[in-house]
Amino acid sequence: MNFIYQTWWKVAAILLVLYTLIAGLLLPVPRLFLLHETIRNLYFHVPMWMGMLTVFVVSVFYSVMYLRTGDEKHDLAAVECVNVGLVFFALGLVTGMLWAKYTWGEYWSGDPKQNCAAIAFLLYCAYMVLRNSMDEEQKRARIAAVYNIFAFPIMIVLIFVLPRMTDSLHPGNGGNPAFGKLDLDNHMRIVLYPAFVGWSFIALWIATLRYRIRLIEYNRNIIN
Amino acid sequence: MKKLNLLFLALLSYVSVYAQGGDVEMADTLRSSGKIYVVVLTIAIVFVGLAIYLFTIDRRLKKIEKNS
């Protein structure tokens, strides 16, 4: 856990995202019908989901660790990761809605991708509600950990599998060509992938800050 | 049949024009006038400000952790 106190990866994450902010606006992008300049949203909308995925994966890891060891700190780490993941989830949804307004015509058109993402959002909100509704610490931590482990694969299926099996307006789903094949040329990759890494580590950084605050509170409660 | 083929060919040529998007409207004037750099700089300043803020929170936490 020494990793979370180090500075180098935080600086690296900031530099990576700063690079994508500048390069994402200035480097040439493919000229595509309907998308026009909004194709640059790819650099800022998709990394939100990548950041969310990263902290959710880490939270599942700590939920498993909690069930194995019973160490309460692992439970705190899992909860704070979900907290930050929810923020990035909301950012992804809102930026997606804004993008949809100008390319699909409506903020919310009941598209399978949007609906499934909304359901997955509620799934994780339910995690917070469930965890906060219990007072007994060990029971709360155990039930929350089990719920989190089950919620993660369901979220993956809802967001990344189900929309691909039906017709969806979202690229990469239904009959639509994914950005990966037709539209995403190598010029875009050199901005998109650093954005993935940068935002993932920023999400992780915020989660570690929240975890450290929780840890101080937790230690204070033990002393009292 | 010949007519159908011709129609299909015509459609196909349309697709290729569509995909190339020669006259897709982009922010070319904004870029040529150089004012896009103002926007880029604004975004960069906002982000750097937020980053510095995050670093100060990190430093303050470190201090508190040392004391407790």
The verdict on a CB contact (< 8 Å) between B27 and A33 is no
- Flag whether A150 is in a domain: yes
For chain A, how long is the longest CA-to-CA vector?
64
Mean pLDDT over A46-69 rounds to: 96
Residue A208 maps to a domain = yes
Tens of pLDDT, residues A11-57 = 999 999 999 999 999 988 888 888 888 889 999 999 999 999 999 99
Mean pLDDT for chain B overall: 77
Q: Is the pLDDT assigned to residue A170 strictly greater than 90?
A: no
**Contact A181/B at CB under 8 A:** no
Alpha carbon distance A53, A55 (integer Å): 6
Residues 6+ apart with CB under 8 A from A149: A60, A63, A64, A67
- B27 and A14 within 8 Å at the Cβ level: the answer is no
pLDDT tens across A124-168, in order? 999 999 999 999 999 999 999 999 999 999 999 999 888 888 888
Question: Does residue A115 sit within a domain?
Answer: yes
Mutate which: A16, A26, A33, vs B, most B CBs within 10 A: A33
B67 at the A interface (CB within 8 A)? Answer: no
Q: How far is A90 from chain B (nearest CA, A)?
A: 19
Mean pLDDT of chain A: 90
**Residues of A in Cβ contact (< 8 Å) with B24:** 31-33, 36
Q: Which of A17-26, A35-44, A184-193, B55-64 shows the lowest per-residue confidence on average (mean pLDDT)? A: A184-193
ipTM of the complex: 0.79
- Domain total of chain A: 1
Q: Which residues on chain B are in Cβ contact (under 8 Å) with A6?
A: none
Instruction: Quote the CA–CA distance of B62 and B68 in Å, as a whole number.
Output: 10
Reply yes or no on whether the pLDDT at B20 is more than 70: no
Q: Select the more confidently predicted residue: A58 or A221.
A: A58
Q: Which of B20, B23, B24 to mutate to test the interface with A (most CBs of A within 10 A)?
A: B24
Q: Is residue B14 over pLDDT 70? A: no
User: CB of A212 within 8 Å of any CB in chain B?
Assistant: yes
Q: Is residue A92 part of a domain?
A: yes
Which of helix, strand or coil describes residue B35? coil
In a domain, A122, yes or no: yes
Give the mean model confidence (pLDDT) for residues A90-115: 93
Helical residues (DSSP H) of A105-180, grouped into ranges: 112-132, 137-156, 162-165
Tell whether A164 is within 8 A of chain B (Cβ): no
- Give the range of the structural domain holding residue A157, as residue numbers without chain letter: 15-223
Q: Using pLDDT thresholds of 50, 70 and 90, give the confidence band for residue A79.
A: very high
Burial of B63 (0-12, 13-18, 19+ CB in 10 A): exposed
Q: Return d(Cα A89, Cα B58) in angstroms, integer.
A: 23
Question: Taking CB atoms and an 8 Å cutoff, what residues of chain B touch A224?
Answer: none
- Cβ separation B43–A21 shorter than 8 A: yes
A68 assigned to some structural domain: yes
Q: What is the pTM of this model?
A: 0.85
Name residue, tokens 């300049």. A37
